[in-house]
């Protein structure tokens, strides 16, 4: 026969295991979401920096100085944080005469 103390201990152990299982599943889902978000941010930053470098090289090669953007820490950070939209923003600012140093 099972006494009340043993039954209560079994129920408590099962309840603890379910909480641990749910917590573990929550951590797995959270890790997957974080990895997916960082992968997208990293890809966006890489495309922005590569586009900035390509624009700089092509502006030199084609001798088109009106879109030549200086590669500084600020311009690299803008293109890394905003991606291709950041490079577009830098081009627009350059054409408007705004100098970013």
Residue 73 has pLDDT above 70, yes or no: yes
Residue 11 lies in a domain: yes
Residue 31 has pLDDT above 80, yes or no: yes
Average of pLDDT values for 66-91?
Answer: 90
Structural domain for 30, as ranges:
4-95
Residue with the two structure tokens 């299982």: 21
Residue 70 has pLDDT above 80, yes or no: yes
Residues contacting 75, CB < 8 A, separation 6+: 52, 69, 90, 100
Number of structural domains in the chain: 1
Is 32 in contact with 59 (CB distance < 8 Å)?
Answer: no
Residue 101 lies in a domain: no
Residue 83 lies in a domain: yes
Residue 90 lies in a domain: yes
In the structure, what pLDDT confidence band is assigned to residue 17 with cuts at 50, 70 and 90?
Answer: confident
Q: In angstroms, rounded to a whole number, what is the distance separating the alpha carbons of residues 75 and 18?
A: 51
Residue 40 lies in a domain: yes
In the structure, what pLDDT confidence band is assigned to residue 19 with cuts at 50, 70 and 90?
Answer: confident
Residue 78 lies in a domain: yes
């Amino acid at each position: 026969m099972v006494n009340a103390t043993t039954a209560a201990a079994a129920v408590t152990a099962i309840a603890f295991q379910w909480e641990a299982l749910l917590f573990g599943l929550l951590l797995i889902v959270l890790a997957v979401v974080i990895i997916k978000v960082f992968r997208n941010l990293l890809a966006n930053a890489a495309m922005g920096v590569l586009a900035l470098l390509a624009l700089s090289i092509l502006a030199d090669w084609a001798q088109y100085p009106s879109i030549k953007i200086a590669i500084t820490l600020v311009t690299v950070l803008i293109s890394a944080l905003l991606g291709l939209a950041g490079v577009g923003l830098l081009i627009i600012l350059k054409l408007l005469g705004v100098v970013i140093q």
